[in-house]
């Protein structure tokens, strides 16, 4: 625990505004396994409590179900991926009792669907897609809130591709266009504690606007071709 506290203190000294925990192993981390929880419950609990006492939200990288379980019990703010990985692979170990803890503790799920997930929609077998879709549907039906995300930073995945990723996320999670848009705007702002300054068109809020040549409620793909973008009132993209 001392090592974890030292890392946390170092991040605070650098004026971070969020703490991220690798609650499970990752596919790109040598020597780790996505199924394996990385921390004991006691250590996770203390990290989250310490961060929250400093008013810092906590995101937890979680692939395996045991790591998801521990992160949810610790009360993290967001679970990144929430892949439900078990012995039989991705989304093979969905557990409703764990999902209930996520809901009860007010944890947001950030599925990190990037545009490359289109391959699952195009696949002939569809086994992983069926499991992933079923897990998302069960969580959504329970009322677990989700926000759009892309896992940008891993090879070949970029922040600016969020619009294309959102289209894929909507299809995989079987969201309405309105639900998909909210997951990347008002819902995302709320999950990230930014909803007092962005995520809505309101007087006094940041003027974060995307002007589209089309109606995304009718056709979500309209968001992939903006004609003008404003970030905090300044032009970020001009068509």
Question: Is the per-residue pLDDT at 126 higher than 90?
Answer: no
Whole-number pLDDT of residue 125: 66
How far is it, in rounded angstroms, from Cα 136 to Cα 125? 19
If you count them, how many residues does the chain have? 239
Superfamily of domain 2-198: Metal-dependent hydrolases (3.20.20.140)
Q: How far, CA to CA in Å, does 165 sit from each of 54, 79, 97, 100, 214? A: 33, 18, 29, 27, 18
Mean pLDDT across the stretch 142-161?
Answer: 95
Question: Is the per-residue pLDDT at 232 higher than 80?
Answer: yes
How far is it, in rounded angstroms, from Cα 232 to Cα 208? 5
Q: Are 221 and 167 spatial neighbours (Cβ–Cβ below 8 Å)?
A: yes
How far is it, in rounded angstroms, from Cα 35 to Cα 91? 11
């Amino acid at each position: 625990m001392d090592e974890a506290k030292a890392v946390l203190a170092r991040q605070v000294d650098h004026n971070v505004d969020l703490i991220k925990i690798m609650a499970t192993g990752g596919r790109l981390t040598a020597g780790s396994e996505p199924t394996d929880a990385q921390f004991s419950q006691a250590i996770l609990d203390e990290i989250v409590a310490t961060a929250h006492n400093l008013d810092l939200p906590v995101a937890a990288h979680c692939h395996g179900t045991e790591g998801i379980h521990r992160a949810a019990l610790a009360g993290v703010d967001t679970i990144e991926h929430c892949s439900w990985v078990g012995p039989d692979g991705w989304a093979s170990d969905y557990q409703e009792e764990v999902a209930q803890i996520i809901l009860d503790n007010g944890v947001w799920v950030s599925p990190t669907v990037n545009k490359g997930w289109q391959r699952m929609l195009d696949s002939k077998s569809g086994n992983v897609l069926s499991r992933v879709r079923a897990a998302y549907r069960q969580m959504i039906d329970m009322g677990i809130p989700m926000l759009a995300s892309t896992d940008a930073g891993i090879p070949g995945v970029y922040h600016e591709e969020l619009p294309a990723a959102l289209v894929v996320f909507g299809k995989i999670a079987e969201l309405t266009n309105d639900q998909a848009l909210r997951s990347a705007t008002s819902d995302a702002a709320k999950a990230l504690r930014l909803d007092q300054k962005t995520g809505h068109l309101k007087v006094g809020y940041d003027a974060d606007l995307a002007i589209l040549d089309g109606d995304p409620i009718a056709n979500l793909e309209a968001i992939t071709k903006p004609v003008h973008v404003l970030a905090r009132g300044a032009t970020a993209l001009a068509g």
